[in-house]
Amino acid sequence: MSTRIAFLKGHGTENDFVIVPDPENALDLTPAAVAALCDRRAGIGADGVLHVVRSAAHPEARDMAGEAEWFMDYRNGDGSVAEMCGNGVRVFARYLQHAGHVGEGDLTVATRGGVKRVHIAKHDSGAGDVTVGMGRARLPEGEVTVGVGARSWPARNVNMGNPHAVAFVDDLAHAGDLYTAPPVGPEGTYPDGVNVEFVVDRAPGHVAMRVHERGSGETRSCGTGACAVAVAAARRDGADPAATGTPATYTVDVPGGRLVITERPDGEIEMTGPAVIVAEGEIDAEWLESATR
């Protein structure tokens, strides 16, 4: 391992990431190494790591190499592997543009949740919004409840390639401390954990949310969570696009900014929002090795 490892720092609506370019998949990013990088006091600090690898060089992505040159090997802040991260895909695409691998317009990104289609909007400053095709939501059957203290709410079970429990509440403060996972029942519904969204209405077609992301705690934003919220809101509001034949668009405010989610009648969901690269530098490989012992 070289004594220095290049990294960048970026965020999408303040859901922040350490970006580690590694085209040939030469780095051994263990769970402990990822957790050390994401430590906000002793490391760089982030909600997760975007490991940038050519699809052909990663065993989990080789089958997608014909569709997408680059694979987003995403890790949660605790080092665990995640299927998808919507804000992460936008920041990943912004990094590819920043590094000169792609330009404005359309591209594809391989993820553990499949190949995602991305559009980088044209903007004079190079900071146009990024739109990601998030695929279709699955709505597993069965009643789910979310609890905080003495309160509990029914929740909509939405799968966006990763699981979400969406609860509509009167006040976002009722979510309490989301750095620890809220209890979700029935027990065993989510054996691998779940992302939990608490949602309030702002206006027709406009909601606000807070989220506990499994493996990261409360984050400033969650892209797949915003999509899950929009899907749940559309069903609650009688605006299921498959039934109405009309796209459903929701503005979703998150603590770190604003996302716009559109679900089309064919079930495809698009998410649009900002993605920003804020810094780049080098990781001391000796520190990283010592931090993971």
Cα(14)–Cα(203) distance, rounded to whole angstroms?
23
Cα(85)–Cα(72) distance, rounded to whole angstroms?
9
Task: Name residue, tokens 């979700």.
Answer: 184
Name the DSSP class of 237. Answer: T
- Would you state the structure tokens that stand for residue 207, as one six-digit string? 């909601």
Catalytic: which of 53, 84, 222, 288? Answer: 222
Residues with Cβ within 8 Å of residue 266, at least 6 apart in sequence: 242
Phi, psi of 69 (to 5 degrees): -70, -30
Number of helices (H) and strands (E) in the chain: give both, helices first: 5, 18
Rg over CA atoms, the chain:
19
Whether 85 is catalytic: yes
**Cα–Cα distances in Å, from 249 out to 11, 38, 87, 257, 265?**
23, 33, 18, 17, 11
Could you tell me which residues are annotated as the binding site for substrate?
15, 76, 86-87, 162, 195, 213-214, 223-224
- Would you state the structure tokens that stand for residue 204, as one six-digit string? 């027709």
* Strand, coil or helix: 113: coil
Catalytic: which of 85, 165, 166, 207? Answer: 85
Could you write out the DSSP letters of every residue in 205-217?
Answer: TEEEEEEEETTTE
Cα(6)–Cα(285) distance, rounded to whole angstroms?
10
Whether 38 is catalytic: no
Task: Just list the catalytic residues.
Answer: 85, 222
